Structures are given as structure tokens and as C-alpha cells.
């Protein structure tokens, strides 16, 4: 029997007041002045009885379920979704909101997860968080109209829904700066070849840092492949086979970096002394288990989840404007996580 059978009237009786007063006190109803002495009595009564509100009754009365839906792609595949959940959950608890999570398979192209959104709506959530597994642009399902929503790790093609995404440029800047400051000047960028924001923006960051440091950009050191381990390996082999091989590799993600580790091992190159490597994503399972540990850039999944709930709450309370937020996605920091894969280049 979850919460016991104590109701607001039991508390009222014990405190010797009316249910109204109890309600006012327990909810801190604004503009309702209750004698401090009465407040205390009510609080105490509630405490001794172990009173907890019946959420169904409250929801019925106020027409607010206290539920927030989180639609997340591929919960099971990477820990990224987990961190979003965590961030969202902590923020939700802060506001006494309950998070209802629903998984969505990453569909063939742009299925938009109409059905999953509907499930959430049927559950009477007050708002929905829509989280994708990697930073991209999406078209929202039509039934998401009419429910307050916030996008996590993606932006709305229609530009109508508030969104929060990683600061990809900033992350790349942090990574490459780290390399440059270690003394590297010949740095290859093993980039992804998908047409997604991360591909373009990380490249922008890469160029920016070299530019700022007056390092000429060797275009042949910017190479692309699918962002998997094996293609990353192949790319690394290629780039490291050159007689003027780079002293450092900036990899689009940790999986490609994992491939680069293998390439280095096969070529007898010691990491970090013969070759420095920086990844992106901070996938613990990979980054922390490689040897030496992979220095990489963390995606702000936790923070995005928290930001999204926080924003939703403001939106629901009418304290924030949709248009203002939807206008331009909020970008959150991608901090560098230093492990052991970067050192000064052996010689100049």
C-alpha cells in the first residue's frame, strides 16, 4: 500500500483545522496567510501521520499530471542516453515532477517517432523531452504540436521548438588546442563523413585553432570515413604511412580513436610518445579501457538533460518564451577529459 491511507482530512483532524488550511499549508499556497502557529501544527500533524498527497487526486483536480515524458533514442545502445536520463531525472525531482521514459528505435530515416510521442501523450504527460542519440536536425512528429517540448541533442528543422545541443566547435577547439599546446604542429583530423552538424562544426574548430596559432593547414591531413573503429583504423594506417606523418591525431570520436590505437600498435608507434591522440565523446567503456587512457572530449549529456527539464518547467510556468528559446539552440560546453594519450612530439 504505497502511501498509507492517511489523507488530508486525517491531518486536518489531528491538527484541529480544516482541510483547506492543511492544503494551503502543505502547498505553500501563495497569498494565503496562515498563522505561523497553525502552520507548525499542520506540518507536525502531517509528519506524525506520515502523510503524503494522493497524486491521482491532485492530478485530477488540478489537471496537471506531474509527469514529464522523455523520448530517447537507443536507450540500450550507448551510455549517452543514460546520462541524459540522469540529468533530466535530477532536475525533475527538484521540481517534484516524475519522468516517464520511452525508448525509440532509431528508425530508417526520419520516422519522427510519432507513435512513441502518442504513447506519452496517452500517459498524460505535461510536456515532452525529445532526445536523439547524436546531434542532428529532425522533423518533429505532428502530434508533438500542442504539447510543450524541448529537443535534446538535435534541432528542429522548423525552428519552432527550444533545443539544446553540444558546443561542437568549442569541443574541437579544446581538443586541438590541447594538442597544439603540447607542441604539435602536424595534426591530422580523422573526421566523420556523415553530413551531420558535428562533422562540420568539429572541422570548424579544428581549422580555427590552427589558424589562431599560425599553423598552416595541410588539407591532405583532413581525411574522412564512417565514424567506426575499422574505418578509423584504415584512415590512421593511411595517414601514418606518410613519410611526413603527423605527430598527432584528432579523431572524430572514440571509436575511430580506438582504430587509430590499433594502427599505431601495428606500426610500432608508442602512444603518446610517438603519436598523440585525442578522441571525442568520452565513451568510458572505450576511452578509459584503452592503454594509455584516451584523452577525449566529453559531450554534455547530463547537462543537456537537466537543462531541458529546467527549461520545460519555466515554459510550463510561463516564465520563459518559446520563441526566444526556439530561435537559436542553446549550446552547452564540451569539456576536455585528459587521460594519457597526449604528450609532446618526440622531436621537431
Specify the residue, 52 or 142, whose C-beta has the smaller distance to a copy of itself.
52
**Binding region for DNA (CB under 7 A):** 5, 7-9, 16-21, 23-24, 26-27, 29, 32-35, 37-38, 51, 53-54, 57-58, 60-63
Specify the residue, 146 or 214, whose C-beta has the smaller distance to a copy of itself.
146
What is the number of other CB atoms lying within 10 angstroms of the CB of residue 60?
Answer: 11
Residue list 238-297, contact with a copy of itself (CB under 8 A): 255, 258, 262, 265-266, 283-286, 289, 291
Is 339 a binding residue for a copy of itself by CB under 8 A? The answer is no
Q: Which one of a copy of itself, DNA, none is in contact with 144 (Cβ closer than 5 to 8 A by kind)?
A: none
Is 122 a binding residue for a copy of itself by CB under 8 A? The answer is yes
Query: How many residues belong to the site for a copy of itself (CB under 8 A)?
Result: 54
| Residue linked to cell 584523452 | 295
Cα–Cα distance measured from residue 187 to residue 206, given in angstroms and rounded to the nearest whole number:
9
Q: Which one of a copy of itself, DNA, none is in contact with 35 (Cβ closer than 5 to 8 A by kind)?
A: DNA
Taking the complex as a whole, how short is the minimal distance between the CB of residue 326 and DNA, in angstroms? 28
Residue list 204-233, contact with a copy of itself (CB under 8 A): 228-230, 233
Taking the complex as a whole, how short is the minimal distance between the CB of residue 18 and DNA, in angstroms? 3
- Answer yes or no: are the C-beta atoms of 46 and 11 closer than 8 Å: yes
Specify the residue, 212 or 284, whose C-beta has the smaller distance to a copy of itself.
284
Distances (CA, A) of 84 to 279, 312, 319: 21, 15, 24
Q: Which residues are at the interface with a copy of itself (CB under 8 A)?
A: 1-3, 52, 54-57, 59-60, 65, 75-79, 81-83, 85-86, 89, 93, 98-103, 119, 121-126, 146-147, 228-230, 233, 255, 258, 262, 265-266, 283-286, 289, 291, 302
Amino acid at each position: 500500500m504505497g502511501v498509507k491511507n492517511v489523507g488530508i482530512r486525517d491531518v486536518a483532524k489531528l491538527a484541529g483545522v480544516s482541510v483547506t488550511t492543511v492544503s494551503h499549508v502543505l502547498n505553500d499556497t501563495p497569498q494565503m496567510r496562515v498563522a505561523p502557529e497553525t502552520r507548525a501544527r499542520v506540518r507536525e500533524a502531517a509528519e506524525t501521520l506520515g502523510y503524503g498527497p494522493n497524486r491521482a487526486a491532485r492530478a485530477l483536480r488540478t489537471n496537471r499530471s506531474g509527469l514529464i515524458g522523455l523520448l530517447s533514442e537507443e536507450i540500450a545502445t550507448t551510455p549517452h542516453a543514460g546520462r541524459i536520463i540522469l540529468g533530466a531525472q535530477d532536475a525533475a525531482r527538484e521540481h517534484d515532477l516524475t519522468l516517464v521514459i520511452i525508448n525509440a528505435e532509431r528508425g530508417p530515416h526520419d520516422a519522427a517517432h510519432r507513435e512513441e510521442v502518442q504513447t506519452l501523450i496517452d500517459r498524460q504527460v505535461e510536456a515532452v523531452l525529445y532526445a536523439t542519440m547524436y546531434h542532428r536536425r529532425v522533423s518533429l512528429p505532428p502530434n508533438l504540436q500542442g504539447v510543450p517540448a524541448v529537443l535534446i541533442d538535435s534541432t528542429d528543422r522548423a525552428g519552432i521548438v527550444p533545443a539544446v545541443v553540444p558546443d561542437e566547435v568549442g569541443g574541437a577547439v579544446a581538443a586541438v588546442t590541447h594538442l597544439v599546446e603540447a607542441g604539435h604542429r602536424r595534426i591530422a583530423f580523422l573526421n566523420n563523413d556523415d553530413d551531420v552538424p558535428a562533422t562540420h562544426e568539429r572541422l570548424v574548430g579544428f581549422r580555427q585553432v590552427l589558424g589562431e596559432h599560425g599553423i598552416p593547414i595541410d588539407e591532405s591531413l583532413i581525411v574522412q570515413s564512417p565514424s567506426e573503429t575499422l574505418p578509423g583504423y584504415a584512415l590512421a594506417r593511411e595517414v601514418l604511412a606518410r613519410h611526413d606523418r603527423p605527430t598527432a591525431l584528432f579523431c572524430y570520436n572514440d571509436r575511430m580513436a580506438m582504430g587509430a590505437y590499433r594502427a599505431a600498435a601495428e606500426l610500432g608507434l608508442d602512444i603518446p610518445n610517438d603519436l598523440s591522440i585525442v578522441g571525442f565523446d568520452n565513451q568510458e567503456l572505450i576511452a578509459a579501457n584503452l592503454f594509455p587512457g584516451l584523452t577525449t572530449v566529453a559531450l554534455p549529456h547530463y547537462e543537456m538533460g537537466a537543462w531541458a527539464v529546467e527549461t520545460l518547467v519555466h515554459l510550463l510556468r510561463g516564465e520563459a518564451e518559446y520563441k526566444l528559446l526556439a530561435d537559436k539552440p542553446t549550446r552547452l560546453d564540451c569539456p576536455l577529459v585528459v587521460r594519457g594519450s597526449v604528450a609532446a612530439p618526440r622531436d621537431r
